[in-house]
Structure 1
Amino acid sequence: MWFNQSQDEVLKELDVDLSRGLSEAEVEKRKEKYGENKLQEAKKKTLIQLFFSQLNDALIYVLLGAAVVTLIVGEYADSVIILAVVFLNATIGVVQEAKAEKAIEALNKLTTPRSLVRRDGETKEINSTQIVPGDVVILDAGRYVPADIRLTTSSNLQIEESALTGESVPSSKFYDKEFTEENIPVGDRTNMAFMSTLVTYGRGEGVVVGTGMETIVGSIAKSLNEETDDMTPLQKRMDELGKTLGKLALGITILMFIIGFLQGRDLLDMLLTSISLAVAAIPEGLPAIVAIVLALGVTRMSKINAIVKKLPAVETLGSVNIICSDKTGTLTQNKMTVLKYYIYDELVDVDIREESHEAKDEASEELIKSFVLCSDATANKTESTGDPTEIALIVLGNKHGMTKEELNRLYPRVDEKPFDSDRKLMSTLNEENGGYRVHTKGAIDNILKISSSILVNGEVKPLTEEMRKTILDRSIEMSNEALRVLGVAYKDTKVKIDEDEMEKDLTVIGFVAMIDPPRLEVKDSIASAHMAGITSIMITGDHKNTAVAIAKELGIADDITQAMTGAEIDELTDEEFAEKINNYRVFARVSPDHKVKIVKAFKKQGNIVSMTGDGVNDAPSLKHADIGVAMGITGTDVSKGAADMILTDDNFTTIVAAIEEGRNIYNNIKKAVIFLLSCNLGEIVAIFVSVLFSFAIPLLPTQILWVNLVTDTLPAISLGVDPGDPDVMKKEPRDPKESFFARGAGSRAIIGGLLIGSLTLLAFAIGLAERGSSLFESADAPEDVLIYARTMAFVVLATSQLFYSLTMRNETKSIFQVGFFKNKYLILSIIAGTLLQFGLISIPFLADAFKVIALPLNDWLIVFGLSLLPLIANEIIKVFMRAYRKKNNLPL
């Protein structure tokens, strides 16, 4: 590893002279060997490939099989309808996913276009894609790092690496730092600079040790190229359902042939009958309905600031029981903020929600004034520049009415002693009161070493050892709370002094304690998630103590025993880590690989995992998670490209709202599925009983297709957009292994199907009886009698399903408890479906096409009476279910 090699070893291995750099001839050789310094793009799917990928579904295979069979037997209208459904479903999926894979393009955009290098003894600016291993690169403030670099010189060099490591403050770099151990997190490799990070302070030089895909960012790109798109819970359920329905259709066909053979029926008639049953067994509109419901869910999610890129991700949110969240910028505000300041012997809290404060006393004023004057940053309400720590000090001054612009005007800076990593101090010399004042800020222990007095209640007093100990003890208390402590002191002088005299015999004023604070609304959101059975996990590149302090404040963790570092993760095998992972809530000092390992370990325990993040380093884990959530404002293009969902307001609260929406969407899809299966079971019952007892077939294939694709579809879609259950977040997350038929749903589907099928047969029998025939004579009944009886059965089948949809809105609550008119779309779809059914049998050319006939008024009364019975029966069942759950203290 380059970071634990000495400079001489690195230079020897790369065969480069620091003073001259590479020759142009050598550069050309290395270009051929290593290629250009850019990231490889993942091979994109064409629209055709995307389209066919949508067809990779068991239910779609069953529909295509049905289309082939109907085509062979000459039922062309049925074939066209089935193929149209398949095409519609695939098209919806393609439209939603065509723009989803942009992560690698965004990674390429992060590389800087121009860089300073030394070649043939000359410094020149070149395109960063032309850099090769061994190039000597010059770094200064404001430049992006073009490749992975082993530093050879540095002067106060600080590099912003938050997008890569998750740390909220720039990392100080030291060219002469050497490491002996190998497993050092990226954020601790202080003798290295990494591609796509930003130099914020100082300057340095280094030799390129990795380009393109061989960089840390390149390793992230490789992981993004991996095929990691697992099936979502909904896709698994639909796949399972498709296989079940396919087996059912095949089994019915075989059974019909056996029964027909034993009954001595004509085999061609039996084939047509089998097709009728196969059509009845398969809910042709289901794939399209699910796609439409998900697409409508995407629209609703966008209104709560959540942009979903892939349709199944909407439902996946509803299954989430683990939220792995990056700390910096997601749980915290991604800006250093002063929380407290100390003046002997008093600790003063700073309310971060208040925009203005008054200084407590003269000492407080002096402390704030010194910090502002001894800073190079700028900050106002709209923008800020400079080191995040210094920006926090400027903001503190602004809150107390001491702006940098005004203080600089009153007390002009005439000299300074820049920050040095050895001294850990910075000093400025400003004009004040006809003389000069030195302002020095830095590490509090170093401030105390160069101070001889202290400001107490506005008076300068000698600094005793007891006072030093008191101040250090208080600063240690702040550090243990993961607060960053920065001390300040001053010295007055009559004459202008040089740098050597600035930092001697100072007067200590006090110190500030700052942190990257939590977002104000996040704590309540985490509590809401916990109530819903969702565990929140913090994953960060920051130090363990800092991470635990934030986690405790937010309610994520109770103590440090629930925290683990990346180095500790490396000591465990994947199996050992997966076994222990449920004991931890905080993961600190982690690399991108660690984040992926954490997500995989949680998934291995059977969890549905959401990962939130905004940095480049979050992209692999976003990709591997069941649902990756990127921040829309602070997030990098890389994280947005890798995610399934983007929060446009960067608000953790939106995640909880999105999970609630996802739960309701899944429940609505389940309602639609159970409703459609109940209806199709009713069709199977009516036809199967007729074949079993040698009755005439009460429904033709075209009539079944009409019901499945028109009459059923409207209420099914309306159930898909049913208003959400207000109690949905009071329940535990759904078991990802739970089938559609769990919790009594299968029983309800069977009961509903038996009722609908039985009543359809009863209507067929009534129609035969009105024309002087009976079920047992129906096989030999005249065509006009069969047409009339089939019309009765056809209308009862359609209208009973329409009315039955009302009772499907809730498993236990009555249609009045959920609000009869609350789902206006469902009411309209029932009315529309009834009118369509009336028009179909009343308009002559349509009636001829579907082989039906207009019914008189008295038969309509019979039809509606029979059609209401499944609805009434299910509402009665709900009464007993509510009584049972109430008795056993179960949620309604």
Structure 2
Amino acid sequence: MNLKNPVNKPPQSTSQSDAQSKRVSASRRTNVPRTVTAPWQQMPANLFLQLNTGEQGLSTVQATEYLSLEGANSLQEAAGTNVVKLAAAQFKSVIIWVLLVAALISAVLGDTIDFVVIVAIVMLNGIIGFYQEYKAEKAIAALKNMTAPQAKVKRDNRVIIVPAANIVVGDILVLEAGDLVAADARLLQSASLKMTEAALTGESEPVDKQANKLLSANTPLCDRDNMVFAGTCVAAGTATALVVATAMNTELGKIARLITDASRSESTPLQQKLDAFGRILVWFSLAIVMLLFLLGWWRGSAPLELVMSAVSLAVAAVPEGLPAIVTIALAMGVMRMSRRNALIRKLPAVETLGSTSVICTDKTGTLTVGEMTVRTLYVGEQCFTVTGEGYAPQGDILLNNQTVNRQNFSGLHELATLLIGCNNAHLVEDNGQWRVAGDPTEGALLAAAHKVFCGQAGGELAHFAQRFPLEYEIPFDSDRKRSCVIRRLEDGTLRAMINGAPDMLLQICNRVYTASGEQPLTEADRARIHQQNTLLGQQALRVLGSAYLDLGHTLPTDLSPAAIEQNLVFVGLSGMVDPPRAEAKAAVAKCVAAGIRAVMVTGDHPQTALAIARDLGIAKEADTVVTGAELDRISEAELVQRAPTIAVYARVTAAHKLRIVHAWKANGAVVAMTGDGVNDAPAIEGADIGIAMGRSGTEVTKQAADMIITDDNFATIVAAVEEGRGIFANIRKTLQYLLAGNTSELLLMTLCVFIGLPVPLLPIHLLWINLVTDGFPALCLATDAIDPDVMQQRPRTRDEPIAANHFLSTMFLTGLLTAGVVFAIYFYSLQTGSVELARTNAFTTLVFAELLRAFGARSETKSLWRIPLRTNLSLVVAVCLIIGLQVWAHQNATLGLFLKITFLSLEECLLLLMFSAIPLMVLELVKLWQNRAQKTAAIVG
């Protein structure tokens, strides 16, 4: 291949060169300070002087001394995890401390079983939490792994390979296609250089770089065309660059600091709600103890009996099974979500998903497929649609929504020949997945050309290079905005094949290819092509034009671009885009229906971002896009105020994304952040719930995330939110079930003490009730099937308590009904029998009532008969077994002695079971009345 790449060098005057030589000679002394007087993108050719180096590179002695003074070129890792502190952190919850106090009291009172059960529950909860958090965040370590293990540098005027950790400021990097950049560097020379910076900036396409540009000090990171950055990759071309920042001073290092600064120190919404509930429970328990003690004292009861009764009730008021049940519910949610392609890395994230009210999502690779795809081919005044996704060479060519016979359109063949001929990319199939080796734009053009010819990469295209051998190449540069390849056709003639920016390409064309062959290019033709170019651009398509020139049989002596690229034949346009995922639009619609706001936050171009956002339904037609440059001019207070009105952010950096997340959180939103690049990691870390893409995501992003979507499908996020909402609903109804039972016990005991009756429940009765009714049924409720209507509800606010008004009213009504029925049976039994029999009847009725009530607790709004029992067979089995155990306890003398209950016949047990169903029936009638009242209000409204 006769490839000649023009080299761009920074301009340099003779006087500058002489001065530089003198300074460089003096700089051999490594103690000369290295200072920076301006941002590097603003620095002219004398930047050598700032770093005590020269065109021949640093000497080995200099590099060694600088390395010892400045440290290795590696990112700092976070301090190691303190195991003791991590273990202690599992016991910070208020409700955990309430349980530990209850366990201590139980031990003092001799209730060994209660003490063992409570301590076991607390320890189980702590072990699970410790295990989850010990798998600590490794984002900084993952960032370190992204840096190049080795790099080519120029030292002592020769190119050598050194470990990336040994790179120092002042080294000269030597870069070529495929290299991973080891440090931030200012370009010295470049030849057709293109950099893939998607992981750092979010830019979906390779970025053209030029050494001879001088930029302003406030140029955004994604527009610093004379710089290369650590962690990015050379897509095409070659360059030399002067290292200006290493380790934590690189842009990658700044992101590492942002990740550390963004680390979520606050607890999750569920943890906050449970802690708040725990504090209420503490004061409530203390109030019960004091009330009953004072009532008993007033009535003249024995002090020891008062202490036993009051403390027993205080212990009963605490739902000791709640922490373990919450943990199990979350763990079961993790298992269900893994089957839906969502991997949870942090257990509380399951519930946090259900609270999500805002999803800040990246565009490239998240909402889009992450691969450039040609969508439109315009040739011969006809606009063809190209089907197929990504780089796969399979697809159809459509005209007016009808598949065309490609053999009947010579213009398509002519255009496809140019797309392949002026192209250095290769399509590679790897386990059924097609990827591009080379420039992604050229890969998209290559895939489209394959579809035009035969729909596959094989056939005649496999021998294209042999059929049309390359004679000369003029690479792409940003001034000409086009590339040119000269190939020899099968008849021996030479043809220059050119692809580039349509506007500039048309300026050097005087003919146009039509269905009848070449024709003069008229002003009407130019206007029509310009109009088509504009229309494609308005559809967020990146448009390239194609043209050719026949040069005869002999290669011209003047091969300059000016000599070759003139009087061309314009052939057509190719419109390409990184298309939205097929399922993304439906997923966004589901988010909107669920009251979740979707916000696009991307490093891509504003016009492209807005077009994709409008297509997916994230932005409305009237919405505009806010760029990173505009964000820099907006104060934090103003951003907090404007954030709810902004749907699309473009050309943003990692710091911008983190600001956006903080602005939404300041508005009270529970924020989820999705992404795949390194530049997404700080915002993912700072959000309430961080979501990384499993396939396209970088390792640092995955380590920073709470959840990983294994199929990179935005729709999976919606499924995960549904699971999260269902889990919270299950936890909430389980808590209501537990507290309603405790409330009935408290009301019953308080009423009896107040009117002077004997205590209806002994401490062993309270322990048994908590064990059999608050244990297994509550666990079955916590793992209940998710209500299919859960996504029709609005998201919960961050400050919404777990026990809202309707929650409390239902809880007290349930407790009052249950206590009333049990008290009636207890009072009647006292009049007709002994205290032991009365206590036995009250105890058994209370057990039966709480077990039956578990069926009604499955929904706060739906009636019992609207929820099929088959969806929670474990609850049916658990209730039946416990009822059987309770009946058997009355028949078995040993168990009856242990529980301090008397014998009851099967008929008596059945009668008590019938009475215990009264609270359930009344509650179901209340639900029915409330539902009818809501329907009537809706009709009237």
TM-score, structure 1 normalization:
0.95
CA distance 1:266–1:30, change in 2 (3 Å): farther
Q: CA deviation digits over 1:323-342, x for unaligned, max 9?
A: 11100000111111111122
Instruction: Determine if the alignment matches structure 1 residue 647 to structure 2 residue 709.
Output: yes
Paired amino acid for 2:73: N
Q: CA deviation digits over 1:349-403, x for unaligned, max 9?
A: 2233672334361111100111111101111553321101000011102212354
Match of 1:798 in 2: 847
Match of 2:12 in 1: none
Match of 1:522 in 2: 584
Structure 1 residue 504: Cα displacement: 3.1
Structure 1 residue 287: Cα displacement: 0.9
Instruction: Determine if the alignment matches structure 1 residue 390 to structure 2 residue 463.
Output: no
Paired amino acid for 2:603: G
CA distance 1:770–1:45, change in 2 (3 Å): farther
CA distance in 1, matches of 2:339, 2:174: 47
Paired amino acid for 1:197: T
Q: Is the 8 A contact 1:344 1:456 kept in 2?
A: yes
Structure 1 residue 141: Cα displacement: 0.9
Match of 2:328 in 1: 292
Q: Greater shift after overlay, 647-656 or 116-125?
A: 116-125
Q: Is the 8 A contact 1:344 1:471 kept in 2?
A: no
2:471 to 397, 414, 431: 414
Match of 1:884 in 2: 933
Corresponding residue SS for 2:695:
coil
Structure 1 residue 262: Cα displacement: 2.4
Match of 2:32 in 1: none
CA distance in 2, matches of 1:636, 1:571: 30
CA distance 1:307–1:259, change in 2 (3 Å): same
Match of 2:905 in 1: 856
Match of 1:222 in 2: 257
Q: CA deviation digits over 1:438-458, x for unaligned, max 9?
A: 211112233223322211114
CA distance in 2, matches of 1:581, 1:446: 39
TM-score, structure 2 normalization:
0.90
Match of 1:780 in 2: none
Match of 2:48 in 1: 11
Match of 1:847 in 2: 896
CA distance 1:891–1:392, change in 2 (3 Å): farther
CA distance 1:176–1:844, change in 2 (3 Å): farther
Within 5 Å, give how 1:686-701 maps onto structure 2. 686-701=748-763
Q: CA deviation digits over 1:249-295, x for unaligned, max 9?
A: 11112222322332333322222112111112111101111111111
Q: Once the two structures are aligned, what percentage of the paired residues are identical?
A: 39
Match of 2:499 in 1: 441
CA distance in 1, matches of 2:203, 2:939: 46
Q: Is the 8 A contact 1:142 1:199 kept in 2?
A: yes
Match of 1:335 in 2: 371
Paired amino acid for 1:190: D
Structure 1 residue 809: Cα displacement: 1.4
Paired amino acid for 1:445: D
Structure 1 residue 790: Cα displacement: 2.6
CA distance in 2, matches of 1:522, 1:180: 38
Structure 1 residue 527: Cα displacement: 1.2
Match of 2:730 in 1: 668
Instruction: Determine if the alignment matches structure 1 residue 364 to structure 2 residue 412.
Output: yes
Structure 1 residue 616: Cα displacement: 0.6
Q: Greater shift after overlay, 741-750 or 510-519?
A: 741-750
2:662 to 600, 603, 617: 600
Structure 1 residue 720: Cα displacement: 1.6
Instruction: Determine if the alignment matches structure 1 residue 355 to structure 2 residue 395.
Output: yes
Match of 2:89 in 1: 53
Q: Greater shift after overlay, 860-869 or 225-234?
A: 225-234
Match of 2:100 in 1: 64
Paired amino acid for 2:181: V
Match of 1:470 in 2: 528
CA distance in 2, matches of 1:134, 1:463: 53
CA distance in 2, matches of 1:839, 1:489: 92
Q: Is the 8 A contact 1:229 1:624 kept in 2?
A: no
CA distance in 1, matches of 2:724, 2:939: 23
Match of 1:789 in 2: 838
Q: Is the 8 A contact 2:44 2:214 kept in 1?
A: no
Match of 1:194 in 2: 229
CA distance in 1, matches of 2:486, 2:726: 63
Match of 2:692 in 1: 630
Task: List runs of 5+ in structure 1 lacking aligned partners.
Answer: 774-784
Paired amino acid for 1:862: L
Within 5 Å, give how 1:81-100 maps onto structure 2. 81-100=117-136
Match of 2:247 in 1: 212
CA distance in 2, matches of 1:421, 1:208: 24
CA distance 1:431–1:13, change in 2 (3 Å): closer
Paired amino acid for 2:503: D
Match of 2:508 in 1: 450
Paired amino acid for 2:529: I
Q: CA deviation digits over 1:298-342, x for unaligned, max 9?
A: 111111111111222111111212111100000111111111122
Q: CA deviation digits over 1:826-857, x for unaligned, max 9?
A: 21121122233334444444433332344222
Match of 1:744 in 2: 806
Q: CA deviation digits over 1:167-214, x for unaligned, max 9?
A: 1111111112112242x3211111111111111111111121211111
Number of aligned residues: 877
CA distance 1:851–1:206, change in 2 (3 Å): same
CA distance 1:816–1:117, change in 2 (3 Å): same
Q: Greater shift after overlay, 191-200 or 791-800?
A: 791-800
Q: Is the 8 A contact 2:380 2:514 kept in 1?
A: yes
Match of 2:4 in 1: none
Q: Is the 8 A contact 1:97 1:309 kept in 2?
A: no
Paired amino acid for 2:368: T
CA distance in 2, matches of 1:258, 1:45: 49
Paired amino acid for 1:321: S
Paired amino acid for 1:453: R
CA distance in 2, matches of 1:424, 1:440: 10
CA distance in 1, matches of 2:140, 2:760: 58
Q: Is the 8 A contact 2:416 2:453 kept in 1?
A: no
2:484 to 427, 430, 442: 427
Structure 1 residue 65: Cα displacement: 1.3
Q: Is the 8 A contact 1:363 1:456 kept in 2?
A: yes
Task: List runs of 5+ in structure 2 lacking aligned partners.
Answer: 1-37, 398-404
Q: Is the 8 A contact 1:363 1:458 kept in 2?
A: no
Corresponding residue SS for 2:495:
strand
Instruction: Determine if the alignment matches structure 1 residue 715 to structure 2 residue 764.
Output: no
CA distance 1:349–1:247, change in 2 (3 Å): same
CA distance 1:41–1:837, change in 2 (3 Å): farther
Q: CA deviation digits over 1:615-670, x for unaligned, max 9?
A: 11111111111111111111111111111111111101111111112111111111
CA distance in 2, matches of 1:4, 1:440: 32
Paired amino acid for 2:223: D
CA distance 1:32–1:493, change in 2 (3 Å): closer
CA distance in 2, matches of 1:866, 1:10: 91
Q: Is the 8 A contact 1:481 1:545 kept in 2?
A: no
Q: CA deviation digits over 1:707-736, x for unaligned, max 9?
A: 223322211121122222222222222233
Q: Greater shift after overlay, 230-239 or 533-542?
A: 230-239
